[in-house]
């Protein structure tokens, strides 16, 4: 049965008749239009069955006596999808409609169907089962609103991708895809783009013809001529509607394929796999020990710092409890990193740790798929973040920023959640690779011409932080095959971990240029005047200069678990104790040494 169809439903007639007969003995909860009220439909003999709930077009004028019975049929904001047996269903902001008991059935024969709603009988009440909304708006307007919602839900987000540039530089784009080992299908993107241009051209032609026909119909015309123009306009409209639908589908498919194309690369990026990465700098030297070195797992057990077994029982593998001084050490690392970076002009943030999957996608991460690193929330459009880069990147989503506000620098603390799909082996045991961890992240929004400069600034901050702790590490310019899709260039920091007997990654710094901002819709307006007092949100602010996309950069200030691994293994002593690096001591109450526990 279609929306807007007039119905006469026997079950519903029986229900109303019973309601009218029992009105004196049973109660209909009187709904107040301005407060939340229970919605209780009294009945004494209905069997469980789905009833078609009608929609009232508009309240009729007040009728003459007999007195009217208040009945609330406007329900909204119901989100519980389970039957509420034996309880009242709370409904927000009901509207009041007045119906006479005597001609009630005849009145209902003209009501218009909008929803089929299951009601569940329990005792003398029927309870609503699924969420729905009924309003007093005209049916046509309501249907239009619902259609808009459905259409909006079907349309995916669209990035401001420069398809013309991709077409004009297809050889360079193809080489970039190959060098990154990307699975993007450039040939399909180009094919879809040509189809898009052809359909768009035809749509524009039909729109122009419709305008010509509409102009011809102005003024006095012979009936036969007017009728011919009407038929022509109708034919053009039908053809235009079909083409516009094709254009929407084609645009979505084009976007879906084009969003797989990775960012371009800095000309100095080494070509090849991870083994082709180039060491830019080495700082410090490996510590020498005159005793057998322990790894962080053994140290943690002897110092009573971790409990992996209990965490495995509670949460599964790759989870952990921190205990005793390890808790203080995590807190110290977080506070030390935020304090140091904040002094350099970064704004501290604590971010949401659940975000919309569309924001994850816009930042260049894949929220779904067999090898995804992202935890998605079932039956939801939300995900757990794998890095604070995602919520910080979204903080200025769909904004036009004044140039005078740039650069915007943030240092953000969050927990991070990663599936670590495909990770296995002894090198990933303990704290080195886990599903949940704390991290302090730096993020920069800047002008395009400044992004290389801020990339160097971010890696310099990382070097200062890790050097102050006395760590030995190297900085690598990562090869093309090891770059994520958003990265134009990426520097990794790998620290020496003596217990593991190898270098391990403790941070990275990436310049993503306009890859993320084109997807997140973050622009800035070059200064032709001081816009610092304007409202930059949603494109407000006056300037004749065209907007440009900002560049985004991110870098790790401190990934806590791996930093704990480094500190325990590098500062262990022969007696089993571990020295706390001096910069962290003020954040640990002056503690200088983690000593073995005497059980």
Per-residue pLDDT, 236: 80
Distance CA 328, CA 397 (A): 36
Place of tokens 């109660």: 27
Quickly tell me which residue has 């051209």 as its tokens. Answer: 201
Stretch 340-364: mean pLDDT, rounded?
96
* 598, HSE (Cβ side, Cα atoms, 13 Å): 1
Question: Is residue 129 predicted with pLDDT exceeding 60?
Answer: no
Please provide the DSSP assignment of 185-200 as one string: -HHHHHHHHHHHHHHH
Higher pLDDT, 57 or 555: 555
Please report the pLDDT score of residue 489 as a whole number: 98
556: β partners: 441
d(CA 42, CA 31): 14
pLDDT score, position 369? 64
From CA 206, how far away is CA 213, in angstroms rounded?
11
CB of 101 closer than 8 Å to CB of 93: no
The alpha carbons of the chain give a radius of gyration, in whole angstroms, of 33
Start-end of H helices in 343-483: 357-362, 389-393, 451-468
Contact 450, 407 (CB under 8 A): yes
Nearest to 16 by CA among 130, 101, 79: 101
- pLDDT recorded at residue 267: 96
pLDDT at res. 332: 98
Residue 117 has what pLDDT? Answer: 37
Output the pLDDT for position 552: 98
Instruction: Tell me: pLDDT of 130 over 90.
Output: no
Instruction: Give the pLDDT mean for 454-463.
Output: 98
What whole-number percentage of the chain has pLDDT above 70? Answer: 69
In this predicted structure, what is the pLDDT of residue 543? Answer: 56
Bond before 587 cis per omega within 30 degrees: no
pLDDT of 92 reads: 39
Q: Which of 256, 232, 236 is nearest to 244 (CA)?
A: 236
Q: Measured between alpha carbons, how far is 240 from 236 in angstroms, rounded to an integer?
A: 6
* Rounded mean pLDDT, 237-254: 88
Q: Kindly report whether the peptide bond that precedes residue 66 is cis, defined as omega within 30 degrees of 0.
A: yes
6 neighbors 55 (Cβ within 8 angstroms): no
DSSP annotation of 480: G
Domains of the chain, each with CATH number or no CATH = 10-152 (no CATH), 163-258 (1.10.287.40), 279-293+325-594 (3.30.930.10)
- Model confidence at 55, pLDDT cuts 50, 70, 90, reads very low
Lowest mean pLDDT among 215-224, 356-365, 485-494: 215-224
Distance of CA 334 to CAs 20, 348, 408, 557, Å? 67, 12, 21, 9
pLDDT of residue 227: 80
* 486 φ/ψ angles, rounded to the nearest 5 degrees: -75, -20
Mean pLDDT of 128-146: 42
Q: Report how far residue 298's alpha carbon sits from residue 500's, in angstroms, rounded to the nearest whole number.
A: 11
More confident residue, 445 or 381: 445
Name the more confident of 229 and 274: 274
DSSP state of 288: P
- Cβ atoms of 486 and 263 within 8 Å: the answer is yes
Residue 346 burial (CB < 10 Å; 0-12/13-18/19+)?
Answer: buried
Higher pLDDT, 53 or 404: 404
| Length of the chain (residues) | 599
Mean pLDDT of 371-398: 93
Tokens of 137: 């708006």
Q: What is the pLDDT, as a whole number, of residue 459?
A: 98
Task: Please answer whether residues 358 and 520 qualify as being in contact, where contact means their C-beta atoms are separated by less than 8 angstroms.
Answer: no
Does the pLDDT at position 218 exceed 50?
yes
Q: Which residue has the tokens 């989870």?
A: 319
Give me the mean pLDDT over the 561-573 stretch: 97
3-state class percentages of the chain: helix first, strand second, coil last, to nearest 5: 35, 20, 40
pLDDT, position 141: 52
H or E element, residue 149: helix 139-154
CA distances from 182 to 171, 176, 349, 513 (A): 15, 8, 33, 19
Question: What is the mean pLDDT of the segment spanning 234-247?
Answer: 84
pLDDT at position 573 over 70: yes
Half-sphere exposure of 212 (CA within 13 A, CB side): 8
Q: What is the pLDDT of residue 372?
A: 81
DSSP strands (E only) in 251-335 = 278-283, 306-307, 321-322
Mean pLDDT of the chain: 78
Residue 30 φ/ψ, nearest 5 degrees: -80, 120
HEC profile of 515-561: HHHHHHCEEEECCCCCCCCCCCECCCCCCCCCCEECEEEEEEEEEHH
pTM exceeding 0.85: no
More confident residue, 192 or 82: 192
Label residue 112 by pLDDT band (50, 70, 90): very low
Segment 275-290, tens digit of pLDDT: 999 999 999 999 999 9
Confidence of residue 349 (pLDDT cuts 50, 70, 90): very high
Asked if 557 and 440 touch (Cβ cutoff 8 Å), the reply is yes
Measured CA distances, 339 to 12, 188, 237, 332, 407 (Å): 67, 49, 63, 10, 20
- Distance, CA of 349 to CA of 341 (rounded, Å): 12
| Statement: residue 73 has pLDDT above 50 | no
**How many DSSP H helices and E strands does the chain contain?**
15, 25
Q: Is 35 or 214 the better-scoring residue by pLDDT?
A: 214
């Amino acid at each position: 049965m279609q929306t807007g169809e007039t119905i006469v439903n026997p079950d519903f007639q029986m229900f109303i008749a019973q309601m009218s007969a029992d009105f004196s003995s049973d109660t209909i909860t009187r709904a107040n239009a301005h407060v939340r009220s229970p919605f209780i439909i009294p009945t004494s003999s209905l069997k469980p069955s789905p009833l078609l709930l009608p929609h009232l077009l508009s309240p009729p004028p007040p009728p003459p006596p007999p007195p009217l019975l208040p009945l609330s049929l406007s329900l909204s904001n119901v989100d519980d999808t389970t039957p509420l047996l034996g309880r009242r269903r709370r409904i927000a902001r009901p509207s009041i409609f007045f119906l006479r008991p005597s001609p009630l059935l005849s009145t209902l024969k003209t009501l218009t169907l909008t929803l089929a709603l299951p009601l569940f009988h329990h005792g003398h009440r029927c309870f609503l089962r699924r969420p729905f909304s009924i309003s007093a708006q005209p049916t046509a307007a309501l249907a239009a609103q619902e259609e808009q919602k459905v259409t909006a839900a079907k349309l995916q987000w669209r990035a401001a991708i420069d398809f013309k540039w991709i077409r004009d530089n297809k050889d360079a784009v193809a080489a970039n895809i190959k060098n990154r080992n990307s699975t993007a299908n450039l040939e399909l993107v180009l094919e879809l783009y040509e189809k898009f241009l052809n359909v768009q051209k035809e749509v524009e032609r039909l729109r122009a013809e419709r305008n010509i026909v509409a102009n011809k119909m102005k003024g006095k015309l012979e009936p036969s001529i007017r009728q011919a123009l009407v038929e022509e306009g109708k034919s053009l409209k039908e053809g235009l509607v079909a083409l516009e639908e094709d254009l929407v589908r084609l645009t979505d498919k084009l976007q879906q394929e084009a969003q797989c194309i990775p960012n371009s690369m800095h000309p100095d990026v080494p070509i090849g796999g991870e083994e082709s990465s180039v060491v830019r700098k080495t700082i410090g030297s490996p510590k020498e020990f005159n005793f057998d070195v322990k790894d962080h797992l053994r140290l943690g057990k002897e110092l009573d710092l971790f409990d992996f077994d209990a965490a495995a029982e509670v949460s599964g593998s790759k989870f952990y409890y921190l205990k005793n001084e390890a808790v203080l050490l995590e807190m110290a690392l977080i506070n030390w990193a935020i304090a140091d970076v904040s002094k350099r002009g970064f704004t501290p943030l604590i971010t949401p740790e659940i975000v919309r999957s569309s924001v994850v996608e816009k930042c260049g991460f894949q929220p779904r798929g067999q090898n995804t690193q992202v935890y998605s929330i079932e039956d939801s459009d939300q995900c757990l973040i794998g890095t604070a880069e995602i919520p910080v990147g979204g903080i200025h989503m769909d904004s036009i920023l004044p140039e005078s506000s740039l650069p915007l620098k943030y240092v953000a603390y969050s927990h991070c959640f990663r599936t670590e799909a495909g990770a296995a082996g002894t090198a990933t045991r303990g704290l080195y690779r886990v599903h949940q961890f704390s991290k302090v992240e730096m993020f920069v929004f800047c002008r395009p011409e400044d992004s290389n400069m801020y990339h160097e600034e971010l890696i310099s901050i990382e070097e200062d932080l890790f050097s102050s702790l006395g760590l030995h590490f190297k900085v690598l310019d990562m090869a093309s095959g090891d770059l994520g899709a958003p990265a134009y260039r990426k520097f990794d920091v790998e620290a020496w971990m003596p217990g593991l007997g190898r270098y391990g990654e403790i941070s990275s710094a990436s310049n993503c240029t306009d890859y993320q901002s084109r997807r997140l819709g973050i622009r800035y307006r070059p200064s032709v005047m001081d816009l610092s007092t304007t409202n930059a949100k949603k494109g407000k602010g006056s300037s004749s200069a065209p907007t440009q996309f900002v560049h985004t950069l991110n870098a790790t200030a401190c990934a806590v678990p791996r930093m704990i691994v480094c500190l325990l293994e590098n500062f262990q002593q022969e007696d089993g104790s571990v020295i706390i690096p001096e910069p962290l001591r003020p954040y640990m109450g002056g503690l200088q040494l983690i000593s073995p526990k005497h059980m």
